[in-house]
Structure 1
Amino acid sequence: MPDVIVRKTVSALEEIYHEGGPVAETPLRRASVMTIIKNPFAGRYVVDIQPFMEDLKPLGLSMAQQLLDMLGGPDNIQGYGKGALIGEAGELEHGALWHAPGGYAMRQLLGKANAIVPSAKKVSGLGSRLDVPITHINAAYVRSHFDSMEVGCNDAPRADEMALMLVMTTGPRVHSRSGGLEAWQIKGEDGLR
Structure 2
Amino acid sequence: MFLDRWLKPRPAKAAGAKLYAGAVAQARSATFYRDFGVRDSMEGRFELFSLHVIFLIERLKGQGDAAAETSQAVFDSYVKGLDDAFREIGVSDTAVGKKMKKLAGAFYGRLKAYDEAVATLPDLAGMTGFLARTAFEERGEGDIAALAAYVIKTREALAEQPLESLLQGDVTWPNP
Question: TM-score when scaled to structure 2?
Answer: 0.34
The structure with the largest strand share of the pair is: 1
Highest RCO, 1 vs 2 (Cα 8 Å, sep ≥ 6): 2
The structure with the largest helix share of the pair is: 2
